[in-house]
Every structure is written in C-alpha cells, then in structure tokens.
Chain A
Amino acid sequence: EIVMTQSPATLSVSPGERATLSCRASQSISSNLAWYQQKIGQAPRLLIYGASTRASGIPARFSGNGSGTDFTLTINSLQSEDFAVYHCHHLYVFGQGTKVEIK
C-alpha cells in the first residue's frame, strides 16, 4: 500500500513570500498526483493534477512539480487568501496535509 507523506506539517510564511510544500510517495507513482487547497469550514478545492497541470481558474502563482516519489507545490508571492491547508493525493491515498499559516 502506498503511503503519502507531506512535510512540513505547518509552514509559517509572510505575505508576499514563497511557500514550498513537499509530498513524498512510498513508491513511484509516476506523475499521478493531485494537490488540493482547503480553507476552514470548506470542502477541498482542486489546484493541480498530473503533478503539474493547474486546474481551471487556479492562479499562475500556484505551480506543481515532480515525478516518481518526490513532489512539490510552490506558491509564489503568497496572498492572504492562500493561507489554508494543502493536501496531496494519489488514487485512494491522501497525505496528512500541510497547514500554511501567516508568519
């Protein structure tokens, strides 16, 4: 069974700075990885699929990279609305999430 591990658990970033989130698979998953953003009290929202393809309506400051076992989600120039929890996902498995909070 594949395990998805996200790091760090919490990331403190100042508005306008860059955030880099990591997701590691316990075995190779090619580029079959999605990223979601979730704000408090809301459902997850698709950001990235296929490791690097932005979903419709997602701003260009969000970018995904990686293949095999190591993946990153980069958020450039963090806006106030970007402070949230981010989840990575492969098939039936989710990472435990990374919370991006205001520094």
Chain B
Amino acid sequence: EEQLVESGGGLVQPGGSLRLSCVASGFPFRSYTMNWVRQAPGKGLEWVSSITSSSAYLYYGDSVKGRFTISRDNAKTSLFLQMDSLRVEDTAVYYCARDNVGRIRGVTHNWFDPWGQGTLVTVSS
C-alpha cells in the first residue's frame, strides 16, 4: 500500500522554527517529485512547496519563499519542510503529497496522490 506519514507539527511562537517530516512507503520514492500542501482552519488547500526526485529543483509559494526550505532523503524515503520565521498566518494542517505525471490523449497531466494524513502546525503566542 502506498502511504505517506507526516510528523513534526506542534505549537510554536511567532518567529520560531519547526521541521516537518514525511515518511513514504509502498512506492519508489526516489522516482517522484514531492509536495507540501497546507490548509488553514476552515480554508481551502494551498500549495506550499515542491522538490523534484533528485532535489535538483525546488519550488516555493510566494507566501513562504525565503522562510521555508524543502528537502528530501531518498535513502530514507523521507521528505522534510524546514519552517523558519513562522507567522500566525502559517497556522494550518500540513500535508505531504506525491506528484504524479501522466500523458493522456497527447496532453501532460499532473495530480497529487497519495496524501498523508496531515500534521497540525499552530503559530501562536
């Protein structure tokens, strides 16, 4: 079974740091781009960051650029998100999700599957 399990969430003060982890199993982790997606309380989904299979390319959303760092350890099938200079507005459930790419009827498509169960990050004084 393909599975992603996040950990590392918790309560942190504004300006603090936190490191999230996501452990993958059941699929060739080193072959896939991986993502972090977050969801603030009562809000929609927001893509946070992506990392390609060999870590060659890293991408960030504007709201976290310069504060968050994505990384991975393919030997340990693990994905990480280092979150620094945290703000109250970073409060959310953080999900890791695998990026899938396929070609259907000559068109390239992307979708996220599977997703982890999420880990809650609360930034508050």
State the A residues within 8 Å of B (CB): 30-32, 34, 36, 42-46, 49-50, 53, 55, 87, 89-97
Contact assessment for A93 and B104 in the assembled complex, using a CB-CB cutoff below 8 Å:
no
18 contacts between A and B (CB under 8 A): A32-B107, A32-B110, A34-B111, A34-B112, A43-B115, A43-B116, A44-B97, A44-B112, A45-B115, A50-B105, A55-B111, A89-B111, A91-B110, A92-B59, A93-B47, A95-B44, A96-B44, A97-B44
Q: 8 Å CB contacts to A: which residues of B75-125?
A: 95, 97, 100, 102, 104-105, 107-118
Q: 8 Å CB contacts to A: which residues of B36-94?
A: 37, 44-47, 50, 59, 61
Q: Which B residues are CB-close (under 8 A) to A92?
A: 47, 50, 59, 61
The bracket for how many chain B residues form the interface is 20 to 34
- Option from A42, A46, A50, A94 in Cβ contact (under 8 Å) with B113: A46
- Option from A31, A87, A97 in Cβ contact (under 8 Å) with B104: A31
Closest to B113 in A: A46
Contact assessment for B95 and A43 in the assembled complex, using a CB-CB cutoff below 8 Å:
yes
How many inter-chain residue pairs (CB < 8 Å) link A and B?
Answer: 66
Question: How far, in whole Å, are A29 and B79 apart by their CA atoms in the complex?
Answer: 29
Question: How far, in whole Å, are A91 and B45 apart by their CA atoms in the complex?
Answer: 13
6 closest cross-chain pairs (CB), A and B: A49-B111, A34-B111, A46-B113, A43-B115, A94-B45, A50-B104
State the B residues within 8 Å of A (CB): 37, 44-47, 50, 59, 61, 95, 97, 100, 102, 104-105, 107-118
The interface centre, meaning the residue of B45, B105, B112, B117 with most chain A CB atoms within 10 A of its CB, is B45
Question: How far, in whole Å, are A43 and B116 apart by their CA atoms in the complex?
Answer: 7
Question: How far, in whole Å, are A29 and B43 apart by their CA atoms in the complex?
Answer: 24
Q: Which B residues are CB-close (under 8 A) to A46?
A: 111-114
Contact assessment for A50 and B107 in the assembled complex, using a CB-CB cutoff below 8 Å:
yes
| Minimum Cβ distance to chain B for residue A92 (Å) | 4
Contact assessment for A49 and B109 in the assembled complex, using a CB-CB cutoff below 8 Å:
yes
- Option from A32, A42, A53 in Cβ contact (under 8 Å) with B108: A32
